[in-house]
Structure 1
């Protein structure tokens, strides 16, 4: 995992399912492909009948609802069933729903483990014939940290991996930066519609769509909002056929209704548990567990582990108020990883006193018991000497250090 991905998880966001994101967009008057989310085959059949009655169209799209992209190319484990399929009868809907619900969908973004599908979205068909050709586009809004501005990224090449478009035809990727003081301006929305090659009624609808979508991005405190494909129907409407949305965790206090949409079954169980103790935790693939206070110190500690010949097994920031409870929780979470060969606790005692952390380590160690891997504790700062004495005299198999070089040497020895 790259530093940028770790950074993204240090400042996390809450992912939403497609059907949830679309409902939120509708509150901002953003047109979407309508659909009904269900979790049983019987409900899927009834949803299809409702959509057929509303549209007069026999066709409907069934979409697996998981927190991952590539659903249309992905397959349900052990079958040839795709995560997105088209049905033209209630019998088709029943068959597809049976194949998808409860199955494990494996896509390019889920990895080999895949994700279990608990819900599907029965959506209207928007590819109906008409007087004008249909067209797929790509559009997303996110924060450009380098410029300190939101950026609207868009392309005429929708419905496919934007990474491939950027790599093979970068000239087809457009970007429009939005100054935080003024918001998206009218001329910018018109520029986007123009660059997408739209005219007439479709041009006007696109300007409205982009404006309302940006208002949704800001109003919902999104970390990222992606529409792929952004779709022009045969009757010149502009709608969101798919939507990926995540909300800045730090803003959820302003959005209690949105916070209630969190689906913890889609998240890593250890990260969910860590969140219950206000721990910033990111699971990695290494062999040295880390417990540190402060994100910057944690990143430096991970670098030190690599220089010592090990690989960090996690990023774990216990914050500036580490105590026996948080240390115990951190221990328990790290110990769930069978790849961990040693644990390094690296605490700088600024806000928190080192001797209190040491006491917490000893208490947690005694509570958990049966810890048969080396534990290295490096405490520096307020009462570091007293903390080292506490650990050295505890009788536990815990190695202490004050200097970072000492801790590095102990880590190297532990993983050799």
Structure 2
């Protein structure tokens, strides 16, 4: 589950991780008031307005139809209000959103941390995630933080450092010191960084994060280390341990069909192809998607209805797949181990009759328990549904449907 910057920062503060402070705002008037509070609290005439969407590259992104960036600085209440007015309700297009962009419903008005002082400021990069290959958590960091970190990773991979952490032992003190040393820090900044990294790792573990990214990790002119931006992803499978965090989910940032699928406990991911597929089991779903590609089609989705597929889940799957105008055919591939194929077949027939007006080919492959009875039900239904027993048969029918 992805979080907005302002949500992630509030969680980090509970673990004593220093962050760039600010206020989440839904209206220009709230943004104006937030500026006044920031000026009172921190004594700066400047504040930063940041669009809150689940995507990176906001600083370089633009609001559709204007030159307004997703991140902008204002030096008085009027400017902050105007910037917020230009961003809120607009569609922000960044390198990560794709051409369609995302609608901005909130902005984060934050304190200015780029103030002058006795020492130079510096931007770093730091993230923590799971390295599945090594079966350990890894802290990735670089002296080259900021908006161009992707380019740094591509052109100068030698500037990206990695520190692996055994999940049983946790981040050890010498590892935190090593990270601070490799970032070129010394004195108070070194001590602050060691504490920052340690607390951030504790937050990563304590919140059951799948990933936490701080970019930039910032050294102020007075040697403080703070998180200016934070991208956080929580492990959905661990939310049962954090019921309070489930309320942070913002479904307006998610694909509507994926949200609907979740209501029926369907594992659904929308893709860009022309063949909708409905399968029980993730492994079989992946194999089915491969088969669709080999047959000349492109998968329009990943849809796993689980091991207990029934008429209700089949109908819900149909509704979700048919919402995609690109779909030219639907392939249902069910292996009847726990579930009986004849029950799934009846579910397909019932759903077809209930939905009506399905004008695209539907191919059903049912194999396993009561597969023959299932094929008979499909063949005698009188509906425009083609049945197959072998995977090769289903492949030929898919090829014919999309040709």
TM-score bracket for this pair, using the shorter chain length: over 0.9
State how 1:378-389 maps to structure 2 within 5 Å: 378-389=365-376
- Alignment check: 8 A CA contact 2:276 2:327 kept: yes
SS in 1 for 2:177: helix
Displacement of 1:160 in angstroms is 2.6
Pairing 1:277–2:264 present: yes
Cα RMSD after superposing both structures: 0.6
Identify the residue that residue 366 of structure 1 maps to in structure 2. Answer: 353
SS in 2 for 1:256: coil
Identify the residue that residue 301 of structure 2 maps to in structure 1. Answer: 314
Identify the residue that residue 52 of structure 1 maps to in structure 2. Answer: 39
Identify the residue that residue 61 of structure 2 maps to in structure 1. Answer: 74
CA–CA distance in 2 between the matches of 1:256 and 1:234?
Answer: 39
CA–CA distance in 1 between the matches of 2:117 and 2:148?
Answer: 27
Identify the residue that residue 8 of structure 1 maps to in structure 2. Answer: none
Residue among 270, 275, 287 paired with 1:288: 275
Displacement of 1:85 in angstroms is 0.3
**Residues 17-50 of structure 1: CA distance to partner in whole angstroms, max 9, x if unpaired?**
0000000000000000000001011111111000
Pairing 1:350–2:316 present: no
State how 1:7-22 maps to structure 2 within 5 Å: 14-22=1-9
Displacement of 1:108 in angstroms is 0.7
Displacement of 1:205 in angstroms is 0.4
Displacement of 1:162 in angstroms is 2.7
Identify the residue that residue 239 of structure 2 maps to in structure 1. Answer: 252
Identify the residue that residue 162 of structure 1 maps to in structure 2. Answer: 149
Pairing 1:328–2:304 present: no
Identify the residue that residue 286 of structure 2 maps to in structure 1. Answer: 299
CA–CA distance in 2 between the matches of 1:61 and 1:329?
Answer: 44
CA–CA distance in 2 between the matches of 1:244 and 1:106?
Answer: 18
Pairing 1:140–2:131 present: no
**Residues 237-267 of structure 1: CA distance to partner in whole angstroms, max 9, x if unpaired?**
1000000001011111111111100000000
Displacement of 1:163 in angstroms is 2.5
Identify the residue that residue 400 of structure 1 maps to in structure 2. Answer: 387
Identify the residue that residue 77 of structure 2 maps to in structure 1. Answer: 90
CA–CA distance in 1 between the matches of 2:163 and 2:338?
Answer: 43
CA–CA distance in 1 between the matches of 2:238 and 2:317?
Answer: 25
SS in 2 for 1:412: helix
Identify the residue that residue 4 of structure 1 maps to in structure 2. Answer: none
CA–CA distance in 1 between the matches of 2:387 and 2:86?
Answer: 55
CA–CA distance in 2 between the matches of 1:167 and 1:64?
Answer: 26
Displacement of 1:167 in angstroms is 1.6
Displacement of 1:94 in angstroms is 1.2
SS in 1 for 2:245: helix
- 5+ residue gaps in structure 2? none
CA–CA distance in 1 between the matches of 2:108 and 2:361?
Answer: 49
- 5+ residue gaps in structure 1? 1-13
SS in 2 for 1:182: coil
Identify the residue that residue 137 of structure 2 maps to in structure 1. Answer: 150
Displacement of 1:148 in angstroms is 0.5
Q: Matched residue pairs, number? A: 403
Residue among 24, 39, 63 paired with 2:11: 24
CA–CA distance in 1 between the matches of 2:362 and 2:87?
Answer: 45
Displacement of 1:156 in angstroms is 0.1
**Residues 130-172 of structure 1: CA distance to partner in whole angstroms, max 9, x if unpaired?**
1111100000000001111100000000003332112211111
Displacement of 1:101 in angstroms is 0.8
- Alignment check: 8 A CA contact 2:59 2:147 kept: no
Pairing 1:120–2:107 present: yes
CA–CA distance in 2 between the matches of 1:403 and 1:162?
Answer: 49
